[in-house]
């Protein structure tokens, strides 16, 4: 959805194996990706884009990865080329053993509109 203040929505995906080599591990995973982009003045915006995953084949207590956080970005031009740059930080409030406690993401996109 795109109300006047920005964009919000989500993505849901589930992957599972149903064929293939018997010696290969089964796949049974779900992904939820809610996102909110709040527009500010002069090309700036606030964003949260959490990628929540569940591995249903993992043992109990090790199935979920749930990040919480967000960041900020800016749309600008280098010459006539539109650029989208953003930085985000997330802490994993639920995670399997061995997964990171937090993550930092930096995005630099060159945009080629028609």
Mind listing the pLDDT tens digit for each residue in 62-86? 999 999 999 999 999 999 999 999 9
**DSSP three-state, residue 35:** strand
* Residue 22: pLDDT over 90: no
Average pLDDT of the segment spanning 81-103: 97
* Residue 18: pLDDT over 90: no
The pLDDT assigned to 80 comes to 93
pTM: 0.85
Average pLDDT of the segment spanning 99-111: 97
Q: Name the more confident of 80 and 26.
A: 80
Cα–Cα distance measured from residue 47 to residue 37, given in angstroms and rounded to the nearest whole number: 5
The pLDDT assigned to 7 comes to 97
The pLDDT assigned to 91 comes to 98
């Amino acid at each position: 959805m795109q109300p006047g203040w920005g964009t919000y929505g989500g993505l849901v995906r589930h992957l599972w194996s149903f064929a293939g080599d018997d010696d290969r591990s089964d796949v049974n995973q779900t992904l939820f990706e809610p996102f909110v982009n709040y527009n500010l003045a002069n090309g700036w915006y606030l964003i949260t884009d959490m990628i929540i995953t569940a591995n249903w084949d993992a043992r109990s207590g090790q199935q979920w990865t749930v990040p919480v956080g967000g960041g900020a970005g800016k749309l600008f031009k280098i010459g006539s080329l539109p650029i989208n740059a953003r930085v985000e930080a997330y802490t994993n409030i639920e995670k399997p053993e061995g997964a990171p406690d937090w993550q930092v993401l930096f995005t630099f996109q060159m945009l080629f509109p028609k």
